[in-house]
Every structure is written in structure tokens, then in C-alpha cells.
Structure 1
Amino acid sequence: MFDGRLSFGTAGLRAAMAPGFNRMNELVVIQSAQGLLYYMLSVFGEQLKTSGIIFGFDGRYNSKRFAELSAYVFIKHSVKVYLLSEVCPTPFVAFGIKYYKCCGGVMVTASHNPKEDNGYKVYWDNGVQVISPHDINIQTYILEHLEPEENVWNIECLYDSNLLSDPIMELQEHYYKRVNELLFPDLNKEISNIIFTYTPMHGVGYPYIEKAFKNSKFNPVVPVEQQKDPNPDFPTVRFPNPEEGKSALKLAFETAEQNNSTVILANDPDADRLAIAERSIGCKKWKIFTGNELGALLGWWMIQSYKLINGHVHPKIAVLSSTVSSAILKSIAKKENIYFEETLTGFKWMGNRANKLISEGFEVLFAFEESIGYMCGTSVLDKDGISAAIKVAELAIYLEKENSSLSSALETIYNVYGWHVSVNSYFICNDSLIIKRVFDSLRQQRNYPNSILNGRYLVKSIRDLTIGYDSSTSDHKPILPVSKSSQMITFNFENGLIATLRTSGTEPKIKYYAEICGDPQKSNDANKLKCLLNKMVEGIIAEFLKPEENSLICRSE
């Protein structure tokens, strides 16, 4: 707990709540807020006081308290503060920054992490999570302002200040209005036989999804009663993350089957991610869509609904995905003559890049990452599980009227744009030295492995974004930015398989991502591709990660 100090990582702080400078607690939050305040003053000057900052919080233990303490740090320095009075989705903070033209914002959340954790996600004036140099500079200012200022714990004075306002109602009204602008106006959503089951995974999402569906004239969702209200203990799930699949969605399946529901929508606890499951009529088996599959469906639908609304595709339309996500969006964009761009992993990169593209005259329709994060439109320059849920529901109803389903539409997409078969998972490793050893053994001073399975599958090129090496470029420098604070190596094989190994920015995990692509209209090749993919991934795990030798814990549902 006292071995070092929490430093800004993936757009802020995240750790277990406990005493010590290396944990989330009131002192660390106050120190962080002070550092953020003084850095923002150095950048924005007096503008910070008038434009202000916005704070939101989720339903975890201490989240509201951490937000209030942070707000008071800024109030004490005569800065205007927007503090949402109720638990809210993370996307509302990103949306609020742009709507109120704030200098920045903070969302107190640990997203889908275990119940012991909390976090501090920081956004800049563009409504996007901070990246370098802001994160480095904020950390420097924190270290320069470690001593809590006088009476900073006295938050009773917070609510007496005329600099404090609660934007929760106004923000919702304008957010839902912007969500409606994404929708296809000629679709009668109330005349549908689809019943949507919804779970917020003990998080903040239910009242916001309920209002969003009502505002957009959808039939009401059926909530998973045991999980619909915020509960910081997350009593019904081992991990409060719908990405975990069957184990996390068990109660959702039961609720859906009791209500003859065929589509499940699931947000994570801060409602910025979305998972989907579908059951075909007359079939008992549920299909849980992977993040890549849902990215394919949503990306295709954002483009198609744009065409339906506007009649054509504007020449400066853009879509984005992260480098570890499926290449399906790239394939769709290529065939539809739409600009595509790949970024580093995480919406702090996609959001900032989208913001830059907007300044260059592009209209960014969609961005996604395989870890069930989706950005539909640019009202929120971050992943948003509420607007994504509305667009998926719209797509499901549209397909129903075409006598189709989400599963059928996905197969059609692959038949048209090419089969993209992928597998993503992770190993848990709580020892940072072991993680370093795993990646150092692969690196070996750029003497990387050149094949797997006794030389049967050869490596064509290697990109290492930790040390800044790419064997495929003329100067051996990668095009994407380098990040020395995280591990990430990508292997491109001769047969077209692309495999990436990386560490998580928020959890003690070594993640792996692998994909191989086939030709359109060759559905028979899909099974062959899956067999090849699974064989090669087994080889990569055994020879590159060596789980038994390195005591790695396999993901289990």
C-alpha cells in the first residue's frame, strides 16, 4: 500500500480502496484533485474559473465522497463546478464537457473492475480522456501539491457555494435529444414483437436506459430485477463485466426466457460498454456476440442508416478502430469508400483522433474497440453504452421487419466483406516482474521468435510498440505511437494471421488477440479458418506465454 505512489495511467487512476499512497482513498483523491487544479490553472488561467469543470460518479463505495472532495478543491479556488447529484453513466461527463464548454471533467469510477476498486478518470476540454503530455504534467503537479490545503475536507461548505450547480436533468434532456439524431426516422419502433431484456450489472445504467428507450419511442426494456439497482457489492456476479460472457449474463438469460425475450442488452457498471446476446425464435441456445462481432454489426448499421437518412455517403466520412480490434471495419470501409483509421488501444486514442479528424472536416460516424466499447457519432468522444444500446435495438427492429436477425445480419456482413475470424482472451498475472519476464523473453534484444509449432507457421513481421520497433517499415519505426509504460507486441504471420500480446492498462492481465481473414462469399472456409486460428493460438500461448512455467491464471467463466 505504501510501495510507491499511484500515477496516471489509462486517463487517470485506478486501484483498490485502502490506506496508502498506492491505493484509492480520500488523501490520494485530494492530492490528485489539487494537482489537476493547479495544472489546469497553468493551462487555462482565469478561463478555468468561468468555464469550470464537471464531476460525475458511479455507484461504488466512496465514489460520491471522492467526487465531492474533488469538487470542493476546485470551489475553494473560485472555479465553477458542475457536480452531477446522482450516479451517472461515464459518457455523461464526456458529453457534459462539450455541452457546457468546460475545461475538463472527472468521472469517479472503476468501470467493471472488482468491487474493491475505484478510479479517477480525467477528461480534457475536448471531452476526451487525457493523453500525453497532460497525464505526465498532471502527475508532476500532483507531486508538487501533496499537502492538503486548509479545511479541504470540510465539504459541508460545498453545497453552500453559488459556484456549484447540478446539471443532471438538463444534461439528460440534451443527451437524449442527440441520441435521437442518430436514429432512422422512418422506423416505427413501437410496432415490434422484440422484447429487450436489460441488465446494468448492478451499475448505474437502468434509469438512463429506461429514459432513453422512452424518449426514442421504443417499447420498455425488461430489467433483470436482481441487478437493476446500483449495488457496490455486485452480489450476483463474480466479475461485474458483461464481457465475461455466460457467467456474467446468467440472470439475464433467466429473465429473458421468463419473458419470451430474444435480445439481451447488458451494460457494465458505469454504462460505457455494451454486450449483446440473441436467441433465435424456437431455439433455446443464446448467441453472445463478441466485441468484434458487435463492432461489425454496429459499424455496418451506422453506415447503412446514414445512407438511409441521407441517401448517399459523404466523401469525408470516417470510421476508426483500435489496432487489436477486428479488421472487419476496415474491410467494410474499403468497400463502401469510407476513410478508415487504426489507433492505439483505448478510446483516449480514438477519441482524440476523432476530434482531430473533425477539425479537418471529417464526419466521424463510428469507432470501436474489441472490449465491447462503441462510439456512435461524436456527441460523446468516448465509448458510450447507452447510445450503442439504442442503435442495436434500432437495428434489431429494422432486421425484424426484413425477416432477419442480428445473427443472420452478421453472417451476411461476413459474406459481403470477408470472413474475419478472431479469438481474444487473457491470463491473470499479479506479479509485474513475471509479466516483464514474459515480454523480455520474446524481445531478447530484437531477436524475436520467427515461427511457431516447429516452424510450420512463419512470422512475417513484428511490431513492438513498447520499444518502438517495426520490422515491416523501412526505418524499423512504427507508425503508431510508442508507449513505454505498457507492453505490446504484434506478430504478423505469413499466412495472414495477426496476433497481439499486451498488458491491460487497468487490470493485472496479459491479453492476447488473434485474427485471420478469408474471402467473401466462402462461408465454407469459415470453419477451416476457425480451426487454423485455434491451432495457431494454442501454439502462441504454449510457446510465447508459457502459462505453466510463468504461473499464469487462465480466464475462466
Structure 2
Amino acid sequence: MSIDANVSKSLDAVQQAVSDGKLTAAAADNIRAWLTEDRYEVYRDEVIEHIVGGKWQKLDDVYWTIIPFGTGGRRGRMYPIGSNAINDRTIGESAQGLADYVVEYHKGQKELSCAIAYDTRHKSRHFTELCAGIMAAAGIKVYLLDDYRATPQLSFAVRYKKCDCGIMVTASHNPPSDNAVKVYWSSGAQVLPPHDKAIIGKVMSCQQIRVMPFDEAVSKGMVEVVTDEVDKAYFEAAAKCAFEGPRDVNLLYTPLHGVGAAAVVPLAKRDGFTNIEVYGPHEEKSGDFPNVPGHVSNPENAAIFDEPIKYAKTKGIDLILATDPDCDRIGIAAPKTTDTAGEWRTFNGNEIGAILAEYVLSKRKAAGTLSPDHYIVKTLVTTELTRRIAESYGVRCVGDLLVGFKYIAEVIDREGPDQFIYGTEESHGYLVGQYCRDKDGAVAAMLMFELAAELKSKKVSLHDYLSDLYRKHGYHRETLINLVMEGSEGMAAMQRLMKSFRTTPPESVAGIKIAKVRDYAAGTITDTATGKSEKLAGPTGDLIILDLAEEGNYVAVRPSGTEPKIKLYVFTRLAPDQSSDLVQADSVLSQRLECLEKDVRQYAKQNG
């Protein structure tokens, strides 16, 4: 049977699968393209094999949409075929689209360049060579960090080598099944408007992927390995973010099987820390993440600290710090008192962000280097405690931002890097300094180590340090609810739920009335009592915030830009005069959070 006959038979089978309800119409459209269009020819046989094998659910999963660019680039599950999977075609389209746009944008410029780095995930090195070969074929020189390196080091490399763009091959904290590319512009930040939409246009219209073999690109000088050079410059720049103070502290660090040890440990030692131990069971660089719960290396997950805490209690450790696989985010755990063998507790991203804000601002104030012109930056779904801390130091807080550190980077360049102090987002990402334009786990770790040493010298626990902030600014508690909705059915449910929050939000949650609805897609703020809407100042994006009648209590809702889920951020607060007794305050807000989560989940179940 000829190829044409095989294709014809497969097209008939696809149509029958749609009629039988085994395949969505959207998936069928994308499969037809992969069966008939020349650009997908090399994948045709494998698509046909899936059709012959009746693998309709898998085909629907990997074809029901075209994998999008989200807040962190193009990310998803790896599979050899599929428009909704990470594979040579979707990664190749991403790199080709970027290359085509860069060449077009800089028309006439003779020398163009791109920095590329990769992490420990499966196929990261393979995708790196593919991206490098595509850039080289387009006449764009590649500066390659040819070893496992952190995402912030890639951001730094783009700026340091004065590149026109950058590519980081990583899926951050996603499961082992996933990979991705994060795309950077010449600023060292992930791509922003108008570049992002223009690049997406090139990606979606990509016909031919032109690749120069990697070895040929190296031999022609189109790929230059700059690992040692960039490492040296990065550590020199990052070390300038350090503050003076005690260094006597016992530290346990876990890279969670990722790249972090090559950044965190050298920087910490350069800053004077000698008692830092890498946690053995998590030291192996492995895309399987074998020794973490669920094989997901996410520092937001308190369970990853369970085994390290048991170990730390026997070793007199003062602080445990983890970085995610590409080392742009951190998580921490510390003893609740100064007794290292006693009870321990982890900190969430908002708590870490507030602690680091207080530490950095207090150090800058002591040095006499703060003014009303200085500012910190946060996102709309990051705790307002950070804003209150900044205002207590007479420093501005720019916080009307959508989710994504690229928006923090945009503010830095818009407002001026010389006045920038600190950037934070609730998902455990933090930045100080001007050396890069993405969150940096290594520098955040260094600052947290410094604070731990300072507090140890004063016989104060990190938890007490946070408690003092609560007494001063009011007790804040937050939680994150993830509603996972996979596949085409999940996407439909996500769209229904977001529409419901916009048009028929709940009247109250946890017994507190919803006073206003902020819709950042429509650009409106609606008073629920009167039904009147006004123009909402701020960014435009798929984000809804439900403001409760009690000040400081609200729920933010958004679809994830990198994973198939809706995220609900729940914020609660008590005023300072209600926060002197933190045990009582915690009891009040714990009960409120429990009721809020119950009510929100029930609403989502009914409307999703």
C-alpha cells in the first residue's frame, strides 16, 4: 500500500473517530495537518502508527491544541509527536520562530547572537543542540553554557555577552515528563510585548525548520562555548549583592537533583560561608528527580523537606534551603525556636518574600542607601505584607503587575535599575541587583544564609523574625489552590469556570461578602452591591480578583500559563491591633482560610 493510500485511510479513520466521540474536532484538524502537510512529513509514519493502533486518547491529548507560549515560554509534556507536546517539531518551531523574528527585527545588522543554556532534564542537551543548530543556520552566533547551569545565569549571559536573544532549555519545577524552552530578549528578561506576539506569529506560521548540524556549527565558529567566562563574570556580579555580617551558621542545601549546586555553593563560599553541606540524597543531577516526593522537585511543596529535616535535627543544622531544578526559585525550612533538634516548619513563597524584603531594606537603611526614589516590585498575587514593609522604610512598591517575573523585569528597566532594590513573586522567586532580569535562586540563597547567620548571632529564630513583622504590619496568611484540568475537557472546564467568576461570582465566601470584582481582562471593577462598573487601572490579562468586604481579604483567580490548571490565590489579614496575640490570630485566620478554600472549591465544582 502506498504512502498516499496510508494517509487516505488514516484520514478516514480520524473522521470516524470524531463521529464516534473518540477524538475532538480540534485534535482531528491538527492531526490532518500532520498527515498531509510537507512540514510534518518526518512525523507522518508515527502518526499513522498511532491511528492504526487506535491510540485515540493519546492522540487527542497531544493534538487537541497547539502548545502555547505562557508566562514562562513554551512548556509541556514530552512526546515524539503532537502539536500539544514538547518534541523536536514544537521546540524547533519555537527556535525557528525566534530566529526568524530576530533576523527580521535587526534587518541589516551583520552580527547577531543568542545565549543558550540547559538544565538536568531529559533531552535538555538534545534540545539545546537543536536550538543551537537552528540559530546557526539563521546566521545567529550562539554563546553556549555547555554544562548544567541555572536560568538566572542564562539571563546574565544574555546581558553580559550583549546578545540579541536567549534560550533556556528547562521546565523548571514541572514533573520529569516535561520540558520547555524559555525565550529571552536582549534585556535578559523573558520576551514581552510586542516581541512575544510577533515571535508567536513566526512560530505558528513556521513551515521549514532549518538546522545546521551541531558539530558543523561548532567547527564554523557559529557555536562558542563560554561556560567558564560567564561563570566567572556571573559570580563577580552576584557577589556584589552581599551584605556584611556574621557567617557562623550551619547550612543544609538541596538542589533537588537540579543544577543549583554549581551556583549556590560557590556563591555562598565566596560570601564567607564555610559550613554548608549539600544533602546527599538530592545531590545527583537527574531528570527523574528520584528522591523527592512524587518525583516533582518543587520548593513550594513542603513535603520535599521532610527527609532533610530529619537529617538536619541530628546535625545541628540551622537552616535548610532548596532550589528548584533550574535554580531560579528557593524554598526554606528552619527550627521554630533556636533549638535545632526541636520542631521545624517550612515557609511559603509570600513569607520568604516578606522576610527577604525586610532584610534587604534594613541593610540598605543601615548603610544609608535608601531614598523615596528607590522601589521594590511585586505581582498582584503576591502578599501585600511586602508592600507594607516597603512603605515602612519610605520606599515605593510597584505591585500592579500580572503573574510572571518578566513583568518585574519590565518595571526595572522602565523605572530605572539604579533605584531598584528588590523584586518578589509568591511562587518563590526573588531578585536583587542589576546583573540579570530574572529571579535568581543563588543570590536569594546567599541573602537568606546571611540573615540566618545574623539571627543566630542574636539568638533569634527565623520564625520569630517573621512574627515580629506580623505584629508590626498585621497578621497575613495566604494559601494557593490548584485546580488541575487536563486535556481538551479540562480546557473547556477552565473556560467555563473563568466565565462564571466574571459573570456570576459567589455572593460571599467564608461568611464574608464579596464587595468588588476586579476583572483585568475586561478592565473593569464592579461593585457587587450596586452592579455598577468602573474602569480598572492596571494591566490587561486573564486575572480576576474578588475583594471581600473585610479589608486585606481577597481571592485572585487565573489560569496557569505553564500548566493545565486554574490557580486560586487566597489572601487573609488581621490589622496590627488584632495581631498582638499571634496564636489567637493564627487560629482566626486558619479557620477563615479553611472556610474560604471549602467555599471556593465548592463553587468551582459547581461551575467548572
| TM, length-normalised to structure 1 | 0.91
Shift of the 411–531 alpha-carbon distance from structure 1 to 2, 3 Å rule, reads closer
Letter in 1 for 2:178: D
Distance 2:112 2:161 in 1: 8
> What corresponds to 2:54 in structure 1?
none
Matches for 1:297-376 after TM superposition, within 5 Å: 297-308=355-366, 310-342=367-399, 343-358=401-416, 363-376=419-432
Contact between 2:158 and 2:165, CA under 8 Å: does it hold in 1? Answer: yes
Matches for 1:85-484 after TM superposition, within 5 Å: 85-149=146-210, 152=211, 154-185=213-244, 187-189=245-247, 192=248, 194-237=249-292, 238-279=294-335, 280-282=337-339, 283-308=341-366, 310-342=367-399, 343-358=401-416, 363-430=419-486, 431-444=490-503, 447-452=504-509, 456-471=511-526, 476-483=534-541
Q: Which runs of 5+ in 1 are unaligned?
A: 553-557
Q: If each structure's helix is expressed as a fraction of its own residues, which one has the higher value?
A: 2
Distance 2:549 2:88 in 1: 52
How far off is 1:501 after superposition?
Answer: 2.0
How far off is 1:15 after superposition?
Answer: 0.8
Q: Which of 89, 92, 97 is matched with 1:30 structurally?
A: 92
Distance 1:290 1:541 in 2: 17
Distance 2:369 2:118 in 1: 40
Letter in 1 for 2:363: S
Residue 90 of structure 2 aligns to a residue whose secondary structure is helix
Q: What whole-Å deviation, never above 9, does each CA across 1:179-226 have from its counterpart, x for those lacking one?
A: 2211123x242xx1x210010111111122221122222114211112
Q: What whole-Å deviation, never above 9, does each CA across 1:486-511 have from its counterpart, x for those lacking one?
A: 4x221111111121122221122222
Distance 1:508 1:539 in 2: 25
Letter in 2 for 1:106: I
Shift of the 506–550 alpha-carbon distance from structure 1 to 2, 3 Å rule, reads farther
Letter in 2 for 1:225: G
How far off is 1:527 after superposition?
Answer: 4.4
Contact between 2:558 and 2:566, CA under 8 Å: does it hold in 1? Answer: yes
Shift of the 377–522 alpha-carbon distance from structure 1 to 2, 3 Å rule, reads farther
Shift of the 257–452 alpha-carbon distance from structure 1 to 2, 3 Å rule, reads closer
> What corresponds to 2:24 in structure 1?
none
| TM, length-normalised to structure 2 | 0.83
Distance 1:57 1:328 in 2: 35
Q: Does 1:82 align with 2:168?
A: no
Q: What whole-Å deviation, never above 9, does each CA across 1:320-339 have from its counterpart, x for those lacking one?
A: 11111110111011121101
Count how many residue pairs are aligned between Structure 1 and Structure 2.
535
Matches for 1:539-550 after TM superposition, within 5 Å: 539-546=595-602, 549=605
How far off is 1:264 after superposition?
Answer: 0.2
Q: What whole-Å deviation, never above 9, does each CA across 1:404-424 have from its counterpart, x for those lacking one?
A: 221121112222233222223
Contact between 1:240 and 1:268, CA under 8 Å: does it hold in 2? Answer: no
> What corresponds to 1:555 in structure 2?
none
Q: For structure 1, which segment, 533-542 or 423-432, has the greater mean C-alpha deviation from structure 2 after superposition?
A: 533-542
Shift of the 160–474 alpha-carbon distance from structure 1 to 2, 3 Å rule, reads farther
Contact between 2:86 and 2:179, CA under 8 Å: does it hold in 1? Answer: yes
Contact between 2:318 and 2:452, CA under 8 Å: does it hold in 1? Answer: no
Distance 2:396 2:350 in 1: 19
Q: Which of 570, 573, 597 is matched with 1:517 structurally?
A: 573
Q: What whole-Å deviation, never above 9, does each CA across 1:426-449 have from its counterpart, x for those lacking one?
A: 2322211122222222223xx433
Residue 248 of structure 1 aligns to a residue whose secondary structure is helix
How far off is 1:39 after superposition?
Answer: 0.6
Contact between 1:298 and 1:391, CA under 8 Å: does it hold in 2? Answer: yes
Distance 2:84 2:237 in 1: 40
Residue 69 of structure 2 aligns to a residue whose secondary structure is coil
Distance 2:115 2:71 in 1: 19
Distance 1:388 1:127 in 2: 18
Shift of the 147–51 alpha-carbon distance from structure 1 to 2, 3 Å rule, reads closer
Distance 1:4 1:427 in 2: 20
Letter in 2 for 1:411: S
Q: What whole-Å deviation, never above 9, does each CA across 1:274-322 have from its counterpart, x for those lacking one?
A: 00110133342111011111111100111111123x3241332110111
Q: Does 1:14 align with 2:78?
A: no
Contact between 1:242 and 1:249, CA under 8 Å: does it hold in 2? Answer: no
Matches for 1:502-541 after TM superposition, within 5 Å: 502-520=558-576, 522-524=578-580, 526-541=582-597
Q: Percent identity?
A: 28
Distance 1:166 1:220 in 2: 33
How far off is 1:350 after superposition?
Answer: 1.1
Q: What whole-Å deviation, never above 9, does each CA across 1:338-359 have from its counterpart, x for those lacking one?
A: 0111111120111111221116
Q: Which runs of 5+ in 2 are unaligned?
A: 1-61
Residue 249 of structure 1 aligns to a residue whose secondary structure is helix
Q: For structure 1, which segment, 492-501 or 265-274, has the greater mean C-alpha deviation from structure 2 after superposition?
A: 492-501
Q: What whole-Å deviation, never above 9, does each CA across 1:43-81 have from its counterpart, x for those lacking one?
A: 12344x525110010111111111111111111232221
Distance 2:526 2:582 in 1: 30
Q: Which of 82, 103, 106 is matched with 1:41 structurally?
A: 103
Residue 376 of structure 2 aligns to a residue whose secondary structure is strand
Shift of the 418–275 alpha-carbon distance from structure 1 to 2, 3 Å rule, reads same
Contact between 2:327 and 2:441, CA under 8 Å: does it hold in 1? Answer: yes
Residue 235 of structure 2 aligns to a residue whose secondary structure is helix
Letter in 1 for 2:225: D
RMSD: 2.3
Distance 1:312 1:196 in 2: 29
Whichever of the two has the greater Rg, that structure is: 2
